[in-house]
Structure 1
Amino acid sequence: MLVNAFNRYVNNFRGFSREIWILTLITFINRAGTMVLPFLSKYLKEDLHFSYEQVGWVMVCFGFGSMIGSWLGGKLSDKIGFYKIMIFSLFTSGLLFFVIQFIKTFEGLCLAMFSIMIIADMFRPAMFVSLGVYAKPENRTRALTLVRLAVNLGFAAGPAMGGLIIMSIGYKGLFWVDGTSCIVSILIFALLVKEKKKETVHLDAIGDTKRKSVFQDKPFWIFLFISFTTAMVFFQLFTTLPLYHHEQFALTEFQTGLLMSFNGLMIFFLEMPIVSYFERKKTDKVKIVMYGALFMAISYYLLLIDFWVGILIVSILFVTFGEMFAFPFSNSFAMSRAPKGHEGRYMALYTMSFSLAHIMSSKTGMGIIAQFGYTVNWFFMATLAVFAVGCAVWLQRILLKENI
């Protein structure tokens, strides 16, 4: 029975092209080295002694840079190709991570984070477009999930190692590791994967007259709002929660890293089987995203129990299931909604919704905590996730009418 279960698990990983596996490998290397993000708010607060307000503004600059980078990456992927954008983005941002550790002033870090994120986040829409090119149509959601697994396995290893690096040589070590991982991963990609052109198809030729422009696609904009709100709630995991761990329960950086690693390991073992199950059942993608938002709401309502440290594990459990339900299928919905020739624009807007969420999540969360404390912030974020559930129900009804 155990052998059969193992074989079923392994079967979920069959059928991918060589390019998809290389993309997965470089994503893992890159994300295992991405140790700055989970500890950025702690670095700014505890090492550079910035106020909550200043931490919030640096995160806002981080998010605005990410938004512009996402839009540029999507636009340029449609114009000059995803391959060149991916190589430029990761190689250049790797070099910039080496430099950013030497900037200590509030104004300097605002400008530096804004600049580096413009370049770094050009990579994301380009990578999504590359998956559409290198993956078979029937494997597309699983290919997205495979790359997400690499991201989360990287995050499982990264924060725990990051906590140890901070405790041994300080925060500067994170910047060196992050920059090196960017450069190494993109060099592997450039050496092993050849550029493959996207198919260019005229919109009239595919008979899709309803969705000629992303700006006229009303259901997609409702979907973007749902993606934005669920991401805004989820990103508390990287912005306010690490501070809460320390201030409420006196956890060390290593203990916070272990909690993040628990999130990553759960996703590694469970997300692909969950995605495969829903794909076999042909379950509506928006419905699964709705369940994801619901799990996230429960996760943050649980944090209102602030006298037992074990609640942090239970909360991480729920937010992880929320993430596994919401993000792979929202990703897949965005790609399937895009008409041929407009994939870059659609994926740019999708990734921009996450960038905007990063801005709003950190700024709103830090602002609420500074004024009213952590409890009010957890209640606000959980209620926002409930609102996303309502919007998903609304979107389902619109899509149902559209398909009649």
Structure 2
Amino acid sequence: MRWQVLARVRGAYRAAFAGLPREVWILAAASLVNRSGSMVLPFLTLYLTQRLGFSLAQAGGTLSLYGAGAVAGAAVGGWLADRVGAVRVQVLSLLGTGAGFLVLGAVRHRVGVWVAVAALSVVAEAFRPASFSAVAAASPPEVRTRALALLRLAANLGMSVGPAVGGMLAVRHYGLLFVVDAATCWMAAGVLVVASWRGRAPAAAETGPMKAPPPWRDGPFLQLLALVFLLATVFYQTLATLPLYLRAHFAFAEDRIGLVFSVNTMLIVLFEMVLLRRIEHREPFRVAALGSLLVCAGFALMPLLAAPLWAPATVVVWTVGEMLSLPVTNALAASRVGGPGRGRYLGAYLLAFSLAFVAGPAVGTAVYERYGPPALWLGVGGVGIGLAGGFLLMAARYGGRWTRLTSAP
């Protein structure tokens, strides 16, 4: 009986990863290496307030400045992916991001930090639409949701390492975070360059004139972006107010905070692909409705208890919601247009995340500081109800009719 159960589990995992093109695996490998060093942003709020003497409002504003630069980065990255090729954009972004982290770690003056953060965000966030575009172009429609989920899995597997190691390094010296983050950016660029030399690099995203409507004139797509913006605003509390709350409410040090974040990434690594395989034929907007509700519920539950194990328990709740919502919205955005123009659509999709990075930290830290953490988390719960309703309305309006626009080659 035990062996039958193990055989079924092994079969479920094998089916979850079956049929994905080799090019997708290469792109995922580069993302894994890059994200394994992601440790600056998760601890940036603490670094700015504890090491550089920023106020809470200034630290939140700095994160919002990163989001403002990311707005430009997402737009530029998507546009360049359609013009010069997605892989080339990724390599240039990774090289520039590594240099940017070293500069940010070296500056101490407030204005210098703001300039470094703004420049870094533009270069770093150009990577994401190019990466999404390359994966979408390399994967047939029937496996595209899982292909994009593999990219997420690789990023989250790296994130299970990055913040945990970053927390341990931060206890010793914050400067180490910037060096390690830069090194992994350059190593990820090396993965793509070496694959290119060996003739195994992923094909560039489709290039050419865009014949489909531009994303800002596509009404249903804009409705999706509005919901994604609200969902991402909640998610970005993990970089702004959540570390502060874990420290104040649960009395966690940086290394413990890193371990709490690792619960999220390890659950995604272990279960997301299998879960998506199980639900890949479900109506996507309804799945996103349930996922977004669970995301916000996980945050809203935090003030109920102060026991140390309660923090990772709430992380489990919002992680399940994340696994149900983000892979689905990723696939909806990638499938809205095919051929030349996909990069711009995905750039617009990731632009919603960048705008949320501007709004999320600023609004979150302002509410946290003025009205207190319980008010913030209660408000997040209300946002979850609104998001669930919005996705259900889209299911009623577009379910089964999310027609795939095409661009002429």
Shift of 1:130: 0.5
Cα distance, 1:318 vs structure 2: 0.8
Deviations 1:293-333 (A, max 9, x none): 11012112212314333321221011101110111110000
Query: In structure 2, what is the equivalent of residue 300 of structure 1?
Result: 299
The alpha-carbon deviation at position 401 of structure 1 amounts to: 9.1
Going from structure 1 to structure 2, the CA distance change for 1:188 and 1:399 (only over 3 Å counts) comes to: same
Contact kept, 8 Å, 1:301 with 1:382, in 2: the verdict is yes
| 2:266 maps to amino acid | L
Shift of residue 200 of structure 1? 5.3
In 1, Cα distance between equivalents of 2:78 and 2:168: 36
User: Which of 190, 193, 196 is the aligned partner of 2:203?
Assistant: 196
For 2:223, give the aligned amino acid: I
| Preserved contact between residue 287 and residue 325 of structure 2 (Cα < 8 Å) | yes
Q: List alignment gaps of at least 5 residues for structure 2.
A: 404-409
Q: Distance in 2 between matches of 1:201 and 1:102?
A: 41
Contact 1:77/1:129 (8 A) holds in 2: yes
Q: Structure 2 CA distance, aligned partners of 1:265 and 1:199?
A: 33
Checking the alignment, whether the CA contact within 8 Å between 2:246 and 2:257 is kept in structure 1 is yes
Aligned twin of 1:208: none
Measure how far apart 1:4 and its partner are: 2.1
The Cα shift of 1:8 comes to: 1.8
Give the residue type in structure 2 aligned to 1:300: F
**Correspondences of 1:180-259 after superposition (within 5 Å):** 180-193=183-196, 194=201, 196-199=203-206, 212-259=213-260
Counterpart AA for 2:358: I
TM-score, normalised with respect to structure 2: 0.93
Deviation at 1:114, TM superposition (A): 0.7
Give percent identity, aligned residues only. Answer: 31
Does the 8 Å contact 2:87/2:134 carry over to 1?
A: yes
Q: 1:11 aligns with which of 7, 12, 15?
A: 15
Partners of 2:31 and 2:151 within 8 A in 1:
yes
1:70, 1:267 → 2: CA distance?
24
Q: Give the aligned partner of residue 287 of structure 2.
A: 288
Name the residue aligned to 1:207: none
Aligned to 1:149: 153
Bigger shift: residues 262-271 or 335-344: 335-344
- Establish whether residue 330 from structure 1 lines up as the match of residue 329 from structure 2: yes
Count of residue pairs the alignment pairs up: 395
5+ unaligned residues in a row in structure 1: which ranges? 205-210
Partner letter of residue 370 of structure 2? Q
Residue 406 (structure 2) aligns with: none
- 3-state SS of 1:12 partner: helix
Q: Give the alignment's TM-score, normalised by structure 1.
A: 0.94
CA distance in 2, matches of 1:325, 1:401: 18
| CA pair 403-317 structure 1, distance change in 2 beyond 3 A | closer
Task: Write the distance in 2 (CA, Å) between the matches of 1:401 and 1:289.
Answer: 15
> Which residue is equivalent to 2:179?
176
1:261 alignment partner AA: S
Contact 1:32 1:157 in 2 (8 A): yes
Paired residues of 1:61 and 1:111 also in contact (CA < 8 A) = no
How far residue 256 of structure 1 moved from its aligned partner, in angstroms, is 0.6
CA–CA distance in 1 between the matches of 2:111 and 2:146? 42
**Structure 1 residue 161: Cα displacement:** 0.7
Alpha-carbon offset, residue 276 of structure 1: 0.7
Cα deviation, residue 66, structure 1: 0.7
Equivalent position amino acid for 1:340 in 2: G
Does residue 160 of structure 2 align to residue 159 of structure 1?
A: no
Is 2:77 the counterpart of 1:69?
no
User: 1:197 Cα deviation (Å)?
Assistant: 4.1
The Cα shift of 1:32 comes to 0.8
Provide the secondary structure at the position in 1 that maps to 2:388. helix
Aligned: 1:375 with 2:374: yes
Q: CA deviation at 1:105?
A: 2.0
1:398 Cα offset (Å): 2.2
Relative to 1, partners in 2 of residues 1:156 and 1:25: Cα closer, same or farther, differing over 3 Å? Answer: same
The residue type paired with residue 257 of structure 1 is: G
Q: Which residue of 1 aligns with 2:28?
A: 24
| Structure 2: distance between partners of 1:163 and 1:263 | 15
Tell me the equivalent position of 1:87.
Answer: 91
Give the Cα separation in 2 of the matches to 1:401 and 1:17: 27
Supply the AA of the counterpart residue of 1:196: A
RMSD over aligned Cα atoms:
1.8
Assess if the C-alpha contact under 8 Å between 1:212 and 1:339 holds in 2. no
